[in-house]
Amino acid sequence: MDFNKKVIALLAVALLATGSWSCKKIIDEAPESTLDKSNAYRNSTDADAAVIGIYGQFLSLQKTYILQNELRADLVSVTANADPDLKQLSNHSATKDNPYVDPRPYYKVILNCNDALKNFQLMREDFRMSVDEYNKHFSDIGALRSWIYLQLGIQYGSVPYITDPIENVEDIKNLAAHPRISFEDLLTKLIDFTEKLPYKEVYAYPTGNPLVITIDGNNTQKIFICKPFVLGDLYLWNNNYLKAAENYSKILNIENNNTNINIAFDAYKVVYSGGSAYNDQAVRYARYQDESSLLYDQGWKTMFSAQNTNIVWNSEFFWGIPYSSSFKPGNPMIEFCSPLYGKYLIKPSQAAIENWNAQRQYSGIPYDARGKLSYETTASGPAITKLIDNVTPVTNLNKGGKWGIYRAALLHLRFSEAANRDGKTKLGWALLNIGIANTFYTGTRSATGSPTPISFEEINTMQTPYPAPYYLDARNNNDYKSPWYRNTGVRNRAGVTALDISLQNDMIGLEGKLIDEAALELAFEGNRWPDLVRIARRQNNPAFLADRVYQKLLKDGDPSASAARAKLLNPANWYLPFEWK
Amino acid sequence: MKLNIFNTLLLLSALIWLNACKNVMEEHTEIVNVDNTIDVFQKVAAEPNLSKFSDFLRSTGYDKLLASSQNYTVWAPTNDALATLDVAISSDPAKLKDFVANHIALTTIAKPKSISDTLRVQLINKKFASLIGSSFEDAGVIGNGSFVKNGAVYTINKAIPTKQNIWEYMLSSNDAPVQTNYISNITTMVVDTANAVIIGYTSLGAPIFAPNPPMVSRNLYWSLVADLRAENQQYTFFMLQDAAFNSETAKLTPYFSVNDKLGLVADFTVKGIYSADKLPDTLTSTRGVKIPVSKAAVVKSYRASNGIVHVMSALPFRLKDKIPVFKIEGENPSGFRSDRTGNTYYRTKLDNLGVQYKDIEVYSHGVSEYFIRYLRGGIPVVKYKVYARAISGAAGDAQVANFTQRYFIYNPLTSTPTVPVYDLFATQTVTPLNYNEVLLGEYTPKQYGLLDLRLTAAASAAVNVNTLILDYLRFEPILP
């Protein structure tokens, strides 16, 4: 090699080296138009954004949640328009390639929760976030993840319990290999995790927190999960009734000391109609006895149609997420329920309709009007309205609405279920039928039957004779009102007659009636399948679930009714096939 | 190789699928063998066997119509078939034109595919023809039709003279003079809306006519029973010979008074065609009254363009069918004394047997002698047993005490135009939870016609005293 060649080679190496250094600098430069993950969690405002983002993604689960929980159970059927996948889901022949049984939508949200939870921890450690802010944000997303896992457990039985964040593509591939744990183990882990959350109040963020605002006509306070309810549900599934009742009762009594006495007396207490928006959740008629005078834009139905800033909604609901008519995604249930603005794929089952028709009202009207207020009869057939009720009626241009998840009637039925199992059957009966004061009062009554106490002893019978969490005080006379004095019972609020008082001493009997009532009060809201599975599992009585599904399919003329019943008599078949794909 | 088998299978299944897709309606309307070079008239004129009919087409001017751009179907009778045509038709240009029009339809029509496949086709003289299998009315279609550029031509073996419709037949026939005379004369005068001058509209949108508008006569039978002139309907109509008509009328006279004949002929029309050999022993008239029919009593039958007419020597109606039991439903009132909507309950309840019923209750309305009014027309004069069902004190009903309510019925004989008189018919004491019918008494209308009844509350403004409740009233005639 001559000198010249050596020089050229050296120069070339030097040039390359310089080039590579300068290149490195370009790579290191922060991108300007996209957000790098290192910049995603800098302060509590970023944490707020993460929470809102996760709830936005969580909304996409409503479709799966409603279809899996209602179509598989006995209150919702498919229409002639439904595709084979929906029909399979309805008659329990769904295979693992059915898009409605895909577990991935759940995990998509869970992985985002995991990422946020990890980063909230890092933020606290680096003092990018205060401990107080951390407690609230972490607990909120943590409880939401527990809720999703509970759903997964109910639907799929054994599932992988993944709590670590996944940051790169390779890890996703390994998810399929993640070990699955049984439903029982899952419940234990979920209770352990959720119980240890640092902030377990009813409202995720107190008034004044930047996350609680009114925007685009909706208030954000109740779009976040109510943690005591998830805990209550987890304990109820685990048959730990006292702990369940304790958590539920936290919500029952949360507003007792509100300075607005209407909120104190009415919020979440299932009360009789007293002429104000705070207590306008009863089934009402303009003229008693006259079925043609049923009110649609006042009373019971407005709980579902009113905006979440409305008093009537706020007295009943404590978790619900609104859809805006101005933004995507819009209410996904319109596509499924509406013959006019959707494809009309699902409808109330004949069994559900017959449930309502078998009830009797005090006014002599021979059916439960909650049916008429939950579905309508159209030229195409019966169509579910409850899931698409909106204060401005649905049109092609207005696909607003709400996903209402937790509300007072649900709370009362779940609390009653726990109380009943914990030996307080009479309390369960009271909340189901005619309310605390009416049930427990033993004193003097007027000619028309209303309590007219003549002594303190008589007044004192208007409360439950149990310690907390079963203590509910409904004492009242003209001078004195206790927090629960307006409580009227789920059935009484709907105007339907009370069940037999012999059920006050019949634990298994009342448990069934509580679930039957849920079919009338909570139909289509996404609670039915979990209700059936929970009771069948607890009573070790698969027929409790199988017979109801069988009746639905039978009354709808589905030839696979018997096959579905036989299948569901084996608890292993309650669960959907779990497949990553 | 494997792929080949698969492809073949795919092709086969696609073929099968395509075959399966042929739908019934397509078969019904499918047109084959089209000759696009000539028009319908040229096609008829080219057939030596149809020369007579093509002469008729020329002489009536329809040749030009059939050469036009719209589509037509012609059912042309052969020369042999036209040889026996009534001279009265062929010699009268107007009748001949109508006769020819009775063989032409304005559209292209494919022959029905099977012997039971039926089509009803409007012809250009506004009559309808039935095509069943390979027949056109009474004629048989010879061979298959030929399709040309503006329609289709079929050859038929029989001429089809224009039929009269039922109404025309009734007016022209002399089979039942008394009946024909009666029906043709029950007319009423109505405003000739086509020629009247409209000077404004009422708030409800009804037109206001200038004073003394032109009037035209309308037959009541068309509106009360059936419009027997309508060509697009099919009826079976009975004509009753004079002796039987008079004796049947006499049976009804005591109950229907001057409306006896109307009461009789109102049940002479049945929907659909029942030919003489297929008459069942009982038919149901357009308004739901049973007609006992004896085939032996059929004197003659005429197949009209819109149905069939049977001339009968007897049609013995049963009184109990002509004068049926009727009900007045409480929840279907005609009016009220005053507006008490807020106190008026249209109720739906279950009775003691679990059967659902609907009724009306007016409660706590505060008006002394408040009343609900019920009207019903066409009531025959006969003695009725009147039963009432009124249930108080059931679930949700605040009326748990006994109360009385009264029934008043309008008396057309003692009323004057300014002072209507309502006679007290019955006083009912309603006791709680009585689910039975209660006999109110016997009632005979003063004259045939309107029943105007008031359910009247007690002469008191007090709640629980002046309540009104009625499920229904049942009028059961006492017949000999």
Query: pTM to 2 decimals?
Result: 0.81
Chain B interface includes A292 (CB < 8 A): yes
Q: Does domain A43-408 have CATH number 1.25.40.390?
A: yes
Chain A residues inside the 8 Å CB shell of B392: none
pLDDT exceeding 70 applies to what percent of chain B? 93
First-to-last CA distance in chain B? 91
pLDDT > 50? residue B288: yes
Q: Coil, strand or helix: which one is B290?
A: strand
Peptide bond into A469 cis (omega under 30): yes
Q: What is the mean pLDDT of residues B420-424?
A: 95
Mean pLDDT of A432-460: 91
Within 10 angstroms of residue A536's Cβ, the number of other Cβ atoms is: 22
CA distance linking residue A184 with residue B353, whole number of Å: 50
**A551: nearest Cα among A578, A570, A532, A576:** A532
List chain A residues with CB under 8 Å of B361: 289
Q: What chain B residue is nearest to A285 in terms of C-alpha separation?
A: B345
Q: What is the Cα–Cα distance from A402 to A55, expressed in whole angstroms? A: 13
A289 → closest Cβ in B342, B345, B356? B345
* Residue with tokens 């699955």, as numbered in its chain: A180
Look at residues A555, A293, A247 and name the one whose alpha carbon lies nearest to residue A406: A247
What radius of gyration do chain A's Cα atoms show? Answer: 27
Mean pLDDT score, A522-547: 97
The answer to whether B395 contacts A363, with C-beta atoms less than 8 Å apart, is yes
| Structural domain spans, chain A | 43-408
Domain B25-156: homologous superfamily in CATH: FAS1 domain (2.30.180.10)
Contact B347 A288 (CB under 8 A): no
CB contact under 8 A, B346 and A292: yes
* Mean pLDDT estimate for chain A: 91
- A-B contacts at Cβ under 8 angstroms: 45
Least confident of A251-260, A532-541, B103-112: B103-112
The answer to whether the Cβ–Cβ distance between A361 and B347 falls below 8 Å is: no
Which of B347, B467, B471 to substitute to test the interface with A, most A CBs within 10 Å?
Answer: B347
pLDDT the model gives residue B207: 87
Signed CA dihedral, B215, B218, B224, B227: sign only = negative
ipTM: 0.80
Please state whether A449 falls in left (phi above 0), alpha (psi between -120 and 50) or beta.
Answer: left
Residues 6+ apart with CB under 8 A from B470: B330, B359, B360, B372, B388, B389, B390, B405, B455
Residue B418: pLDDT band with limits 50, 70, 90:
very high
Q: How confident is the model at residue B287 (pLDDT cuts 50, 70, 90)?
A: confident
User: B71 is written with which tokens?
Assistant: 């589509």
Model confidence band, residue B206 (pLDDT cutoffs 50, 70, 90): confident
Radius of gyration of chain B (CA): 32
Q: Which amino acid is at A252?
A: L
C-alpha A332/C-alpha A63 separation (Å) is 6
Q: What is the pLDDT of residue B294?
A: 92
Instruction: Write down the domain spans for chain B.
Output: 25-156, 166-314, 326-477
pLDDT tens, residue by residue, A419-431: 999 999 999 999 9
Over residues A115-141, the pLDDT tens digits come to 999 999 999 999 999 999 999 999 999
Closest CA–CA distance from residue B347 to any residue of chain A (Å): 5
| CATH T-level topology, domain B326-477 | Jelly Rolls (2.60.120)
**pLDDT-derived band of residue A24, with 50, 70 and 90 as boundaries?**
very low
**Cα gap A388→A314, rounded to integer Å:** 18
Q: Tens digits of per-residue pLDDT, A363-419?
A: 999 999 999 999 999 999 999 999 999 988 888 888 889 999 999 999 999 999 999
For chain A, what percent of residues have pLDDT higher than 90? 81
CA-to-CA distance for A542 and A546, rounded, in angstroms? 6
Kindly determine whether residue B345 and residue A290, on different chains, have CB atoms separated by under 8 Å. yes
> For residues B144 and B111, is the Cβ–Cβ distance under 8 A?
yes
A357 touches chain B (CB under 8 A): no
CB A500 within 8 A of CB A52: no
- B395 and A362: CB-CB below 8 Å? yes
What is the distance in angstroms between the Cα of B397 and the nearest Cα belonging to chain A?
Answer: 7
Per-residue confidence (pLDDT) for residue A68, from 0 to 100: 96
A200-224 per-position pLDDT tens digit: 999 999 988 999 998 888 899 999 9
Per the CB < 8 Å rule, is B396 touching A288?
A: yes
Q: Is the pLDDT of residue B171 over 80?
A: yes
**With contacts defined as CB-CB under 8 Å, which chain A residues touch B344?**
287, 290
Q: How far A498 CA sits from the closest chain B CA (Å)?
A: 13
For residue A69, give the H/E element and its range: none
Intrachain domains B25-156 and B166-314 with the same fold = yes
N-terminal to C-terminal alpha carbon distance within chain A: 61
* Position A168 confidence tier, pLDDT thresholds 50, 70, 90: low
CATH dotted code for B166-314: 2.30.180
CA distances from A442 to A460, A461, B75 (A): 9, 6, 92
Q: Across the interface, do A361 and B346 touch by the CB < 8 Å criterion?
A: no
Burial B373-410 (b: 16+ CB within 10 A, else e): bbebeebbbbebebbbbbbbbbebbbbeeebebbbbbb
Residue range B273-287: mean pLDDT, rounded: 92
Rounded CA gap, A336 and A300, in Å? 23
User: What pLDDT is stored for residue A310 in this prediction?
Assistant: 94
B395: chain A residues, CB-CB within 8 Å? 360-364, 497
The band of A35, judged by pLDDT with boundaries at 50, 70 and 90, is: low
CA A109 – CA A105 distance, rounded (Å): 7
Average pLDDT in the A9-32 region?
52
**What residues have CB less than 8 Å from B139, skipping those under 6 apart?**
B75, B77, B81, B156, B157, B158, B159, B160
Which pLDDT does position B15 carry in this prediction?
47
Residues of B in contact with A363 (CB under 8 A): 395-396
From chain A, the residues in CB contact with B356 under 8 A are 366
